Amino acid sequence: MHIQRVLPVSFLRYASTSYRNGVIHAVFLWRKAGITDKKKSVMKQITLYVYQSIDGCPARADKQVDDAIGKADCLLLDEETYLDVFMNHLGWPITQKDTFVVAQADCNLTGKESVRFITGDAVAEIGRMKAAGDGVMVAYGEGIAAMLLNSRLADEIVVITLPKVAGGEEKALRHITGDGAAWVVRSCRVLDGEKVRTVYGRVHH
């Protein structure tokens, strides 16, 4: 509700000077309080990327996730995905922003790059990171997906579906127990005339 609709400007024109000053001061305090509350409520957004075939089997990531990483503030991976990226590039290619890796033990192979391993209570640690600041954290990896979706930490899911039936029992999303959250489709479009990109957003109450 906008305060201008409650007290029209035409009304203030005929009010006394002291009354007008009081109203203006009240509006200033109201807006200041609103801005302060908004800043306090800002949390880091976690966007999970999932690549799958028509039948839900895992598929290789492409430039879509690369573009998302480029625009994000930081990256969240599981150990398997981290090692896969490192071996494919014979080194760590993401040097301009922080990467967080959830793993059983610290197996950092990247030397001086901004890579930090989370080996303790990952849900608690990521929850603290989420509450501590704003921006966007892009998450990718089967293990990360299960952890984020089972603990209500993901705010957005971007699903890229490739036009093929892979077959097999392995699925892109596994070990999901569900958290009872409600999700809505924010957008859905075709990429490169074949892949479908669907964005789901969590409904926050």
Per-residue model confidence (pLDDT) at position 168: 87
Per-residue model confidence (pLDDT) at position 40: 43
> Into how many domains does the chain fold?
2
User: pLDDT digits over 84-128, tens only?
Assistant: 988 988 888 888 889 999 998 888 888 767 899 999 899 999 999
Looking at the structure, tell me whether residues 9 and 106 fall in a common domain: no
Looking at the structure, tell me whether residues 126 and 63 fall in a common domain: yes
Is residue 168 within 8 A of residue 57, CB to CB? The reply is: yes
| Cα–Cα dist 111/192, whole Å | 37
Looking at the structure, tell me whether residues 123 and 30 fall in a common domain: no
Per-residue model confidence (pLDDT) at position 19: 41
Token readout for 3 is 């305060």
User: pLDDT digits over 28-74, tens only?
Assistant: 443 444 433 434 457 799 999 999 999 999 998 888 888 888 889 99
Looking at the structure, tell me whether residues 77 and 117 fall in a common domain: yes
Range in 106-110, 123-127, 136-140, 146-150 the model is least confident about:
106-110
Task: Over range 158-173, report the average pLDDT.
Answer: 92
Residues 6+ apart with CB under 8 A from 41: none
Domain range for 30 is: 3-40
Looking at the structure, tell me whether residues 112 and 51 fall in a common domain: yes
Looking at the structure, tell me whether residues 134 and 171 fall in a common domain: yes
| Cα–Cα dist 90/169, whole Å | 30
Residue 152 belongs to domain with CATH number: 3.40.430.10
Q: Are strands 136-140 and 115-118 parallel, antiparallel or unpaired?
A: unpaired
CA-only gyration radius of the chain, Å: 23
Average pLDDT, the chain: 80
pTM (predicted TM-score): 0.75
Looking at the structure, tell me whether residues 117 and 105 fall in a common domain: yes
Looking at the structure, tell me whether residues 68 and 143 fall in a common domain: yes
Residues 6+ apart with CB under 8 A from 67: none
Looking at the structure, tell me whether residues 24 and 105 fall in a common domain: no
